[in-house]
Homo-oligomer: A and B are copies of this chain.
Amino acid sequence: MHKMHYQEADSVAINNDIASGITARVVIGKAHGAGNFCMRVFELGPGGHTPRHAHAWEHEIFVHSGVGEVFGNQEWSSFKTGDVVLVPGNEEHQIRNTGSETLIFVCLVPSGAPEL
């Protein structure tokens, strides 16, 4: 068994021309022995956002804390603590923090996708 608080995992800060205000962590991945799917945790500061993109693999998302919006099905919709989202492979998607607190969400990808 592997157990830790998610903030104990190594973090990567992402701030570039297509994504900003992101702290990302692989919390359960190949290094821990997870062979089928990988769990990451993302923190987005107020105003932070992920890139608008599409890729072959799906996302399974659980919103741990905060409020924001998710782009999918060609429109923005709000999401909040306790919401779950499935983004199918090849669907354009993006997430942004529209609140005043940090938006924290868990996002899983299948093996074969980049862990981060």
Contacts and interface: CB of A to CB of B under 8 A. Distances in A.
Interface of A: 1-7, 27-28, 32-37, 39, 41, 58, 60, 62, 64, 70, 72-73, 77, 79-80, 82-88, 91, 93, 106, 108, 110
A1 B70 contact: yes
Contact of A84 (B28, B36, B58, B88): B28
Given A27-B84, A60-B28, A3 B37 contact: no
B86 A33 contact: yes
A27 B83 CA distance: 9
Contacts of A84: 3-6, 27-28, 39, 41
Nearest to A4: B84
A106 B37 CA distance: 14
30 contacts: A1-B70, A1-B73, A1-B91, A2-B86, A3-B79, A3-B83, A3-B84, A3-B85, A3-B86, A4-B84, A5-B80, A5-B82, A6-B82, A6-B84, A28-B84, A34-B58, A36-B58, A37-B37, A37-B108, A39-B62, A39-B84, A39-B108, A41-B62, A60-B108, A62-B62, A62-B64, A62-B106, A64-B64, A64-B82, A108-B108
